[in-house]
Each structure stands twice: as C-alpha cells, then as structure tokens.
Structure 1
Amino acid sequence: MLSAVTISLVPEARGGPFVYWDSLTDGCREAAERGFDAVEVFPPGADAIDPRELRTLLDDHGLSLAAVGTGAGWVKHKLSLTSPDGAVREKALAFVRSIMDLAAQFDAPAIIGSMQGRWGDGVTKPEALRHLGHALFKLDTHAADLGTVLLYEPLNRYETNLINTLGDAVTLLTGIGAEHVKILADLYHMNIEEANLADAIRNAGPRIGHVHFADSNRRAAGLGHTNFLPVISALVEIGYAGYLSAEVLPLPDSDTAARQTIATFRQIVG
C-alpha cells in the first residue's frame, strides 16, 4: 500500500477535510518533503489544471497522482447526478467526464462523492437511486473507453441519504453491472455507518479501489479512536495494494496533520 495526501484548490470548500490548500505547487512540494508517495487533487474544474504543469510538478517531486476529486461539482457549481432537473443531471455528467478525462492522462481515477446528491426536494428515493444508477452506468462506459476506473464513495447519513455503507455500494454497482466503477472506502464515513470496519472491507473485497485514511473524528490517523490494525489486516487479506489517502481536517495545521498521517502510515503499514 502507498501513501497519499489531499490538496484542495476549491476556495468554496475551505474548512473541509483537505490537508493542503490553494497552491498545487506548494502542496506537491510539501507532500514530497513529508514523504508521501502521491497527491489527491480537488480542482474547481478540469480546466483549472494545466496537465503539463501538473506532470512537471509530479515528476520534479517524485510523486504520483492518486486521484482527482469532483467535489467542486457540488460545492462550487451545485451539480448533482440525482437532481430532479434533467438538465442539471446532464451538466453533472459532463463535469464528471471532464475530471475523468483529466485524471486518465495520469492513469488516475476520478472520485464521485458529494456529487451523488440525495433524495428529497422534488425527487423520491427510488427516483434518486435510478438517476444515480443510470449515471454510474454511463460513467462506467466512459471509464472503459479511457482505460481507467471511477471511484464511487459511500458517504455518512449526514451527507447523503442514498448509499451509506460499502455493502449498499456493492449492491448498487452489482445491480447496474458496473465493471469499471470501484468503491472508495472512507474510514471516517465507515466509522459512522459500519458495525465493523474490517468486516465491511472483507465483504466488499476486490470492489474496493481506494481508501481515505482518516480517523474517527476526521483528523489525521492516530488522533481519534479508530483501531487501524484490523483495517490494514483486512486490506491485506483482500489484496488491496492501492493508496491510503489522507482526506482529513488540517488540524491543528496542515503540516502537523501531514506529519501525523505519514508517521501513523509508516507505523502500521511499514
């Protein structure tokens, strides 16, 4: 398993669970200095990143791109894959595809988290799930065309009322026949929704394509009450060899959160 750390370039998301902010240049430099293998980037849109500049930054600092987030689609542009408005859903699909196209240039996946939306306000739960499944089916095809995967992230009940557990995500993806959509297992969300984190990981098995490495309080690993050893054992059992990416609050500050994360990573992963 490899380490990664988050960089948010979205001012509207300030206060959220991202370690580094505002500057891709500074974020990559600091991630390399702390010893991370990769960065996970959250841009305002695909056109906010120059692929040549990003490639240079990654190469200069010996980093990989772990994933690219689509959260700005909701936070900044108010786009949702489950909106009752069909035109909004189409714009949301286009936004996700553009992020997928950017990420694929670096053999990295895109992430769908908050853009999955929720039911209510003009859309019933069955309708919202149908919209979500339809969108993921289309994006699964796009991922296949790109030769990459898409990451779908179950969120806790306070952030969505659609899919909250890894098991529910497996059911959704199996139901639509998705072959190129993997599950993002976020340990913070799982701490709220799963009865047993390790069992949930084992049950999801090879469907897991990415892990957000966060403690129970969404702070850096080691600053909450999550027992990470059973989690790592379960990931080893399912043959997971991807990233443990720190999508955590930058508390008490970014550098301390980064140092705490990499220290815990080295302690439990080696």
Structure 2
Amino acid sequence: MKQKLKLGASTWLWESPFNTESVTLFPKIKALGYDLVEIPVEDPKLVDGQEVKKALIDSGLEVSVCGAFGPSKDLTHDDVKVHQQCFDYLEQCFDLCNLLGAQFLAGPMYSAVGKARMVSQDQRKREWELAVSNLYKVCNMADEKGLSIALEPLNRFESDMVNTANDVMRLVNDINHRSAKVLLDGFHMTIEESNIRQAINTVGDKLVHLQVSENHRGIPGTGLTPWHQFKEGLQDINYQGAVVIESFTPEIKELAAAVCIWKHMADSQDEFASKGLEFLMNTFNNQ
C-alpha cells in the first residue's frame, strides 16, 4: 500500500433508511476527515439520485453503494417472482451507481440476510446452484453498465451460504464472470476466519472493498480485532480500494434489532465516527 487508502463511513452509522434528506450528513462526514461516504440503498424510491449527486459534488466526497437484501430480495427463494423483485431492485441500484460514480454495488446479494438454517445437502446444493445462475445474470446486468458486484460473506448467524473468504471465492469461481468481485467485512471475519491476513490473500485481486468495525461492532481499535493482520494482508495484495466503517445506531430500532445492536457503542455516533477514523488513519495511513 504505497498510496494512502481512502477511508469512508457508512450512513448506517447515523440513520436508516438512507433517503434524499440523508445528504445533510455529507458535510459532517467530510468535516470529520473522511474521503468517502457509503450509501446503503434499502429502498431506491426514497433516493433522488440527482440530489444525492449534487450533494456529493458539493461536499467533495467520493461514494460507494451497497444493497440491502431481505426476504423479498432473495435470489435463492423457491418463487421466481422473488428473484425478479431482486433483479428489479438491483437494476435500480446499478442505475444509481452509474449516476453517482460508484464502480460497483456491494453486499450479500446471493441470498436473504438472516437465512441461517439447518437444511439437507440436496437443498443446500439446489440453493447454491440458484445463487450461481442468478448471480451470473446479475453480473451481466452490471457488466452492461460498466459495473461490478462485490459479494460479501456474512457470519454464520446471518447466512448459511457464504461465511468465509474460501466460501466467497468458491462462489466467485462458480459464477465465472469478470464482474464478480468481493467485499470483506472485518466484523464477520473476526467471527468466521482463523487468520485475517490469510483470508485477504485468499481473495487477492478480487477484493474491491473492505468494511470494518470492531469484533463487537464498536469503534475500531477498542476490541479484539487483529488490525496488524488487516494491514499486512492489504499490503500483500497491494489493495487500492477503500476502508469503510460500517456500524449502526441503536436509535433506529428496526435496523438495530436486525443487527442485534442493543446498546450504544460510543457516547455519540459522531464520536464513533471521529475516533474510528483517527484509529484507521493511524493504522493504515500514518505509518
């Protein structure tokens, strides 16, 4: 990592769902010292892309975009109508990426978040094949717009399909499309991986995005995460992407319940963002 990494913050740190009025966060995120804002698109109808684009230009922030995948957007569902709902949603997200200047759409789009079950091997195989075939279609959709997708492994409590770097590389290899890339999230990695550096190397040049928080979803640097392994792994692969803090506020009850955030992880979300950025700068960019 000869050049400094771009550091970003997800708007989920402050609010949900992202909507056009959420652009009022942009000046604060920039003033804190961030290079980039991550926009989670829960409902595209809430987002006026032109207004968001203007706010990005005004604030001088770069952008990344991630999707949110609940039961109504599940590419492994038994009902093909649910697949189509997901395709329609992804099409809107890709259009937003193009408008805002994002190079990829990130997220665990292979299945619904929270789908963690003990199922038969036959069912597991059938759902895997559905994910592969449907994500190939998604890759074609993205490729037509000059974009990639960044597939995110989740911990075992949130997904029974893709939990580790090995899992996501198996998925990427099975999809076998140039637009299939990878997002790694340090929170999930501290649960599922045995070695962070090795996991990053497993993904290698497919890694286009990195999300981080602490192992307890708190401020980076306040927990058990082996940050030196992140730094070494990113150096090994000459990572050129961004590092984005993704955590959540307990003030948004529906989202907090979904991600099991029962208490405040800082005195304020602004403090979370400020102290987290300071730690990431010292870890990745000031040495």
The residue matched to 2:39 in structure 1 has which SS? strand
CA deviations 1:129-184 (Å, max 9, x no partner) are: 11111121011111211111111101000000001101111111112212112111
C-alpha separation between the residues in 2 aligned to 1:222 and 1:114? 29
**Residues 46/249 of structure 1: CA separation in 2 closer, same or farther (3 Å cut):** closer
Q: Which moved more, 1:114-123 or 1:37-46?
A: 114-123
**Residues 114/179 of structure 1: CA separation in 2 closer, same or farther (3 Å cut):** closer
1:197 deviates by 0.6
Q: Does 1:102 align with 2:96?
A: yes
C-alpha separation between the residues in 1 aligned to 2:208 and 2:109? 18
Tell whether the 8 Å contact from 2:53 to 2:99 is kept in structure 1 after alignment: no
Tell whether the 8 Å contact from 1:119 to 1:128 is kept in structure 2 after alignment: no
1:207 deviates by 1.0
**Residues 119/88 of structure 1: CA separation in 2 closer, same or farther (3 Å cut):** farther
CA deviations 1:202-255 (Å, max 9, x no partner) are: 121001110002111111211211121221121122011111011123432210
Tell whether the 8 Å contact from 2:183 to 2:211 is kept in structure 1 after alignment: yes
Tell whether the 8 Å contact from 2:116 to 2:157 is kept in structure 1 after alignment: no
Give unpaired runs (5+ residues) of structure 1.
8-17
Aligned to 1:84: 78
How many corresponding residue pairs? Answer: 256
**Residues 190/171 of structure 1: CA separation in 2 closer, same or farther (3 Å cut):** same
Aligned to 1:3: 7
Aligned to 1:69: 66
C-alpha separation between the residues in 1 aligned to 2:57 and 2:230? 31
Among 39, 42, 53, the residue aligned to 1:44: 42
The residue matched to 1:116 in structure 2 has which SS? coil
Aligned to 1:11: none
**Residues 96/209 of structure 1: CA separation in 2 closer, same or farther (3 Å cut):** same
One-letter identity of the residue aligned with 2:50: R
Q: Which moved more, 1:247-256 or 1:156-165?
A: 247-256
One-letter identity of the residue aligned with 1:39: V
Tell whether the 8 Å contact from 1:213 to 1:221 is kept in structure 2 after alignment: yes
* Greater than 3 Å deviation, 4+ residue runs: 118-123
Tell whether the 8 Å contact from 2:75 to 2:109 is kept in structure 1 after alignment: no
1:115 deviates by 6.2
Tell whether the 8 Å contact from 2:76 to 2:83 is kept in structure 1 after alignment: yes
Aligned to 1:13: none
C-alpha separation between the residues in 2 aligned to 1:115 and 1:260? 33
Aligned to 2:182: 183
One-letter identity of the residue aligned with 2:67: T
C-alpha separation between the residues in 1 aligned to 2:163 and 2:177? 18
Aligned to 1:265: 280
C-alpha separation between the residues in 1 aligned to 2:272 and 2:111? 28
Q: Which residues in structure 2 correspond to 1:1-270 (within 5 Å)?
A: 1-7=5-11, 18-22=12-16, 23-66=21-64, 68-71=65-68, 73-74=69-70, 78-108=72-102, 109-113=104-108, 116-117=111-112, 118=115, 124-250=123-249, 251-252=265-266, 253-270=268-285
One-letter identity of the residue aligned with 2:10: T
The residue matched to 1:21 in structure 2 has which SS? coil
The residue matched to 1:210 in structure 2 has which SS? strand
1:114 deviates by 6.3
Q: Which moved more, 1:89-98 or 1:161-170?
A: 89-98
TM-score of the superposition, structure 2-length normalised? 0.84
The residue matched to 1:224 in structure 2 has which SS? coil
Q: Which moved more, 1:48-57 or 1:184-193?
A: 48-57
1:55 deviates by 1.3
The residue matched to 1:168 in structure 2 has which SS? helix
